[in-house]
Structure 1
Amino acid sequence: MSATKKLRVGIIGAGEVFQICHGPCLLLMPHLFTLQSIFDISPTNTKHCADKFNIPHQATSPEEVLGNPNVDLVMILTSDDSHAPLAVAAIKAGKFVMIEKPMTLSIPSAQSIIDAEEQAGGSRVFIGYMRRYAPSFLQAFKREVASIPRLLYGRVRDFSGPNANFTSQSGTFAIKPDDFPPGSNAERDQRFEALYAETFPGQAITDAHRNYCRFLGGLGSHDFSLMRETLGMPEKVIGVSVNHPFYSSIMSFRNKDGSPYSVTYESGIDEVPVFDAHLALYGETKRVTIKYDSPYVKGLPITVEVDEVNEHGEVQHRQVLSSYEDTYTAELQEIHECFVKGKSIKTTPKDALEDITLYDMMYKVWAAGKNE
């Protein structure tokens, strides 16, 4: 039996998502991946992670990672503002690319990644929507939803609580140094402002715009991406509520028979350390809900709950767990399948663009409401 080809990985951005989620998973998968190079804007963080995760090359710039001949796959785990330029540069350097969600925040920025990938021949970029690779989503949830002949209602909820509570108890001992180069914070802010200007053309950018954009790109992208894979894009956004740090909307969909139904989105961040995230769908005699827990604590179960009327007219409750395997492990195995074995990528840049298009629908409803 021939040995499985290992993907040689370069990391750009070594914050909490790398230290708590991707890094430990990559270390536990040496049969599929080897960590070769790492760069973080904090030199202290670069050295810390290189030592901790046995990475031989400590880069002093992103360009060093991109130019490293021992790197096949570049994982972009930086702040949202730099995803697109780094992705385009990585594609041009001939690398496979994984971009942690959100891919980016504006439609023009997303299009720059799509164009670069197409110019490189396609199938180079994987967007890290890890919830969509959860075994319980792909198996139990989809199977149960498929048996509902006509949906009547849906709910998307994500009250994630304070991240610090989960990250501090993850057992990974992540660090957050702040020895950034002079001027780097101002450069980051300039990139964000350029994205906001593209997202809200012709509008004066306020903190409300910034918060809404960052919230939907950050926490919201998990939820809407999962919703889209299950239901497709909504026909219309009927209304939105913007009260930072809580946001909601109601969207209209249609079943295959043309009958309408609505889906409510509700999300926010409070200081209660309870992770309450789910996608729930309602039929006439069956309700199906998939429940997610914090991704920062490895192995917390992702369960599917079913409430239905059985053939005897009785109420029946079932809980289904397809696997304890965490979403980052499942996602990384999928990345290997795509870039080594040629499997089609599900979470492509074009797919991720639909999230940003949906946000744009929400922004326009918000703007119209403000002008009434």
Structure 2
Amino acid sequence: MATPQLLHVGIIGAGEVAQVIHLPVLSLLSHLYTVEIICDISLKNVEHCATKFHIPKATTTVSDVIKHPEVNVVFILTSDEFHAEYTIASLQSGKHVMVEKPITLSIQSAQRIIAAEKAANGAKVFVGYMRRYAPSFTQAFKREVASIPRILYARSRDFSGPNAQFVSQSGTFQVQNTDFPPDAAAERAKRLDALFEEAFEGREATSEKKKYCRFLGSLGSHDISLMREMLGFPESVAGVSVNEPFYSAIFNYRNESGEPFAVTYESGIDSVPNFDAHLAIYGEKKRVSIQYPSPYVKGLPITVKVDELNEHGEIQAREMLTSYEDAYTAELRELHSCIVEGQQIKTTAEDALQDLKLFDLMYKKYDERA
């Protein structure tokens, strides 16, 4: 068997998602990836990661990663307001990009990324919607939903609880240093304000709406993206509820028979450490749901449950687990195939733009309340 081609990785951002998720997974996929360089505004963070994960170079200068001659693909694991700038700069340097969701917070900045990708002569953008790569989703869930003749209703729920509690039990021993440059907070606020101005163009960007935008970009993008892959883009937004820290919406859809049905979206973060994230699809005689556990604890199963009326008029329940492989591992295996073998990317920048367009419809529906 031929040895797989190694991809040489540069990482921008050495915070929680790097330390708890991507660096451990990249280490386990050492036959596919090797990390050459890591960057963060905290020198202590990058030095910690470089030592722990045997990375040859640590830096606080982003261009060191983007211009690194050995790097094939740049992982952008920073906070949202830096995604567009670093993605575009990486594409302009001929590097492929794996950018964590959300791709960015405004439609305009996503369009700038798409334009840069088109001009990049082959460099591609892969957006990190890991739930859409989980084997139980791509196989069991999609297979079971496909056998529902008429979808009558669907529900997307994500009550994630406090991430800190899951992270503390993950065995990854994250460090959180605060040796940031003195102007870092001001620079971040300036970038965020520019994105909010674009996201709410021509409308007032209140504090509540800014929090709504940040929430949809963080937790909401997981659920909305998953919903879109299964059901497509909704016809309209029937209503929204914005009551921090909980948010909800009702989307209008039509099934293959042209009949209307609704999808409810409900999400929020409280202090109860119970991770309840699922997508459920309802037909006349069959219900199918997929339950996602916290991704911060490796090895927890992603299960698919079916409740249906069988030919004997009995209630029949089944539960399926396609694989114990976690969604992040499946995602990075797919990323390797897309770059090395030219496999088509599912979670493209154009795909991620659809989330932002739906968010915009949700903002406008919220504005109608006034």
The answer (yes or no) to whether the contact 2:91–2:123 under 8 Å persists in 1 is no
One-letter amino acid of the counterpart of residue 216, structure 2: L
Runs (4 or more) in structure 1 with deviation over 3 Å come to none
Q: Which residue of 2 aligns with 1:329?
A: 329
One-letter amino acid of the counterpart of residue 113, structure 1: I
C-alpha distance in structure 1 between counterparts of 2:266 and 2:354, whole Å: 19
Q: Which residue of 2 aligns with 1:214?
A: 214
Q: Does 1:161 align with 2:167?
A: no
C-alpha distance in structure 1 between counterparts of 2:94 and 2:41, whole Å: 23
Deviations along 1:142-191, whole A, 9 cap, x unmatched?
A: 00000000000000000000111101110000011111112011000100
Q: Does 1:15 align with 2:12?
A: no
1:203 to partner: Cα distance = 2.6
The answer (yes or no) to whether the contact 2:100–2:129 under 8 Å persists in 1 is yes
One-letter amino acid of the counterpart of residue 329, structure 2: T
SS class of match (2:149): coil
SS class of match (1:210): helix
1:121 to partner: Cα distance = 3.4
1:123 to partner: Cα distance = 5.7
Aligned pairs (5 A) from 1:21-36: 21-36=21-36
One-letter amino acid of the counterpart of residue 93, structure 1: S
Q: Which residue of 2 aligns with 1:345?
A: 345
Deviations along 1:192-245, whole A, 9 cap, x unmatched?
A: 011111111123322101110000000000000000000000000000000011
One-letter amino acid of the counterpart of residue 2, structure 2: S
SS class of match (2:17): helix
1:299 to partner: Cα distance = 1.0
Q: Does 1:268 align with 2:268?
A: yes
Q: Which residue of 1 aligns with 2:109?
A: 109
Aligned pairs (5 A) from 1:1-372: 1-121=1-121, 124-370=124-370
C-alpha distance in structure 1 between counterparts of 2:361 and 2:131, whole Å: 23
C-alpha distance in structure 2 between counterparts of 1:46 and 1:181, whole Å: 14
1:280 to partner: Cα distance = 0.4
The answer (yes or no) to whether the contact 1:11–1:77 under 8 Å persists in 2 is yes
C-alpha distance in structure 2 between counterparts of 1:297 and 1:123, whole Å: 32
| Aligned-residue CA RMSD (Å) | 0.8
The answer (yes or no) to whether the contact 1:135–1:325 under 8 Å persists in 2 is yes
SS class of match (1:369): coil
C-alpha distance in structure 2 between counterparts of 1:346 and 1:237, whole Å: 25
C-alpha distance in structure 1 between counterparts of 2:31 and 2:288, whole Å: 36
Unaligned ranges ≥5, structure 1: none
1:257 to partner: Cα distance = 1.5
SS class of match (2:369): helix
Deviations along 1:277-321, whole A, 9 cap, x unmatched?
A: 000010000000000010000111100000000111100011100
Q: Give the number of equivalent residue pairs.
A: 370
One-letter amino acid of the counterpart of residue 313, structure 1: G
Unaligned ranges ≥5, structure 2: none
C-alpha distance in structure 1 between counterparts of 2:2 and 2:163, whole Å: 43
The answer (yes or no) to whether the contact 1:123–1:345 under 8 Å persists in 2 is no
C-alpha distance in structure 2 between counterparts of 1:359 and 1:54, whole Å: 40
Deviations along 1:89-133, whole A, 9 cap, x unmatched?
A: 000011010000010010001001000001113561100000000
Specify whether residues 326 and 280 from structure 1 end up closer, same or farther in structure 2 by C-alpha distance, changes over 3 A only.
same
C-alpha distance in structure 1 between counterparts of 2:122 and 2:365, whole Å: 34
One-letter amino acid of the counterpart of residue 268, structure 1: G
C-alpha distance in structure 1 between counterparts of 2:120 and 2:90, whole Å: 11
C-alpha distance in structure 1 between counterparts of 2:292 and 2:183, whole Å: 39
C-alpha distance in structure 2 between counterparts of 1:59 and 1:123, whole Å: 24
How much identity, in percent, do the aligned residues show? 62
1:260 to partner: Cα distance = 0.8
C-alpha distance in structure 1 between counterparts of 2:213 and 2:103, whole Å: 13
Deviations along 1:330-357, whole A, 9 cap, x unmatched?
A: 0000000000111000000000000000
C-alpha distance in structure 2 between counterparts of 1:265 and 1:305, whole Å: 19
C-alpha distance in structure 1 between counterparts of 2:240 and 2:106, whole Å: 19
The answer (yes or no) to whether the contact 2:95–2:123 under 8 Å persists in 1 is no
C-alpha distance in structure 2 between counterparts of 1:353 and 1:259, whole Å: 27
1:2 to partner: Cα distance = 3.2
SS class of match (2:368): helix
SS class of match (2:198): helix
One-letter amino acid of the counterpart of residue 348, structure 1: T
